[in-house]
With several copies, the nearest count.
Chain A
Amino acid sequence: MSDPTEPSLFAAPPMAEQERMVEAVLFASAEPVTLAELTQRLPEGSDPAEALVTLRRRYEGRGVNIVKVGNAYAFRTAADLGHLMHKESVETRKLSRAAIETLAIVAYHQPVTRAEIEEIRGVAVSRGTVDQLIELDWIRFGRRRMTPGRPVTFVVTDHFLDHFGLETTRDLPGLKELRAAGLLDSRPLPGADATPDEELDGQTELFED
């Protein structure tokens, strides 16, 4: 970022104008637009992050709002007006109970291995379930776990966040309570081999950025 006290060769447009620009770019796109992309598209020296602050405030309580998804922003209709949009709503495939539970486990425990999902649910996870969630672009393969066998892990995608209107996985409903109750800890069966420390590291990583 350039030092604001240093005069730039290209004077950035006034903030009100930058706000209009951000508004136009976000409005035009159906997908969330990252801050990096906004910076790239606005004239040199612009500060879209600042423009976004006022713009978001301007749309508070309106029929459309600006939501933050991961590191990106998008206009979305206000949730209370959903009933007016019947025409636009797309019938989504009905997810099986196994798929919904698997999705929740990935979201709350990520990064999580298949074995861990099975341990929590108490049953095997079928191929179709994981496949369906990957197809929906709600979960993806994450980093391998640094434990014997180096199993792959699953994490949720930004598209998942966008779909459920979450800014980050920290906003998952009830996350704090679940964590406080110790229900997100990986707790091995007493007497079983101690869990390698790495596993716990993987757990925390996710929730701090």
Chain B
Amino acid sequence: MAETWDQADRLAPSDRMAAEALIVDVDGYEGPLDLLLTLSRSQKVDLRKISVLQLAEQYLTFVSQAYQLRIELAADYLVMAAWLAYLKSRLLLPPEPGELGPTAADLAAHLSFQLERLAAMREAASRLMALDQLGRNVFARGIPEEVSRRRDIRYEATLLDLMRAYARIRTRDDFRPFALDRENVFTMEQALDRLRSLIGYAGNWADLTSFLPDGWDLTPARRRSATAAHFAAVLELAKRGQVHLRQSDTFAALEIRRREP
């Protein structure tokens, strides 16, 4: 990243704009604010003094480049683009007399505040990580002494343990589907058994659905399960050469007939 900036700094503004147009790489940014912060670096001024107007231009250029390159932009990039376009028009036009709500200058100031804050937190993060860290720069006693004279058992539990335990209990119900709901499931074995005894009557072509057991067509879940099981069972029987199958058209009724020995 730093290299990109340095490089950008050496270029003339027009070249820079052109170069930026080429680095349309949305994946490289953590969202619109991150992108705006990167763009604002090219102005080489205090973040409080950046030209929001210019920044808006750059962002909109970026977005339109991405659009031309048919790069998928996440919704938040587009929302930001719309907002910046709005802000830009407000900044360019003189304020209407008697206008209510925040002024364009206020909105622009807030945006530069957000950018400055993000930059500051990044700086703070790197200063934090540069501190002497335990186990890296600074070390604790290597041989903590544990003299056992009186054995005192202390039960330990952390807030994390507590929360996890609670979460475990409260979500136990979510796991129930792992235990198969037998009541509404018709297995292929069951269907196969049933069909074996019924197939003898199917001397003529008969619709598969007519073989479904009573009571299994009342709810969609039960009907689906029974149909699927019987369909699989019929395929199995056809494979064994015990039935003929035919279907006149896609999604048409599936018909079966006993195969004469």
Contacts from A to B (Cβ < 8 Å) = 24, 27-31, 74-79, 82-83, 85-86, 88-95, 97-101, 103-105, 107-108, 120-123, 132, 134-136, 140-141, 162-166, 172-175, 178-179, 181-184, 186-192, 194, 196, 199
Contacts and interface: CB of A to CB of B under 8 A. Distances in A.
B146 A190 contact: no
Interface in B144-179: 144-178
Given A31-B143, A82-B136, A89-B151, A141 B159 contact: yes
21 contacts: A27-B141, A28-B145, A29-B145, A76-B134, A82-B136, A93-B156, A100-B125, A101-B166, A103-B125, A103-B165, A104-B121, A104-B128, A105-B169, A123-B34, A135-B160, A173-B131, A173-B163, A178-B163, A191-B177, A196-B170, A196-B171
Contacts of B177: 189, 191-192
Contacts of A28: 139-142, 144-147
B55 to A, nearest CB: 14
B162 A122 contact: no
B110 A121 contact: no
Contact of B132 (A74, A79, A92): A79
A187 B142 contact: no
Nearest to A118: B31
A162 B141 CA distance: 13
Contacts, number: 271
Contact of B117 (A88, A132, A183): A183
Given A89-B150, A191-B102, 11 more contacts: A30-B141, A30-B143, A77-B145, A86-B152, A88-B135, A101-B169, A103-B125, A104-B165, A104-B169, A174-B127, A175-B167
A20 to B, nearest CB: 14
A202 to B, nearest CB: 9
A172 B147 contact: no
A45 B120 CA distance: 45
A108 B127 CA distance: 12
B133 A172 contact: no
Report the 9 A-B pairs with minimum CB-CB distance, sorted nearest first. Answer: A122-B33, A190-B102, A104-B125, A28-B139, A85-B147, A104-B166, A123-B31, A82-B137, A28-B145
A108 B131 contact: no
Contact of A173 (B33, B122, B128): B128
B122 to A, nearest CB: 6
B57 interface: no
Interface string B97-120: 000011100110110011011101
Contact of B162 (A134, A164, A192): A164
Contacts of A105: 121, 166, 169
Contacts of A30: 140-144
A192 B146 contact: no
Contacts of A94: 155-157, 161
Contacts of A27: 139, 141-142, 145
A29 B142 contact: yes
A75 to B, nearest CB: 6
Contacts of A178: 120, 124, 163, 166-167
Contacts of A172: 124, 128, 162-163, 166
A186 B128 contact: no
A43 to B, nearest CB: 16
B149 A175 contact: no
A88 B174 contact: no
Given A30-B144, A165-B134, A86 B150 contact: yes
B260 interface: no
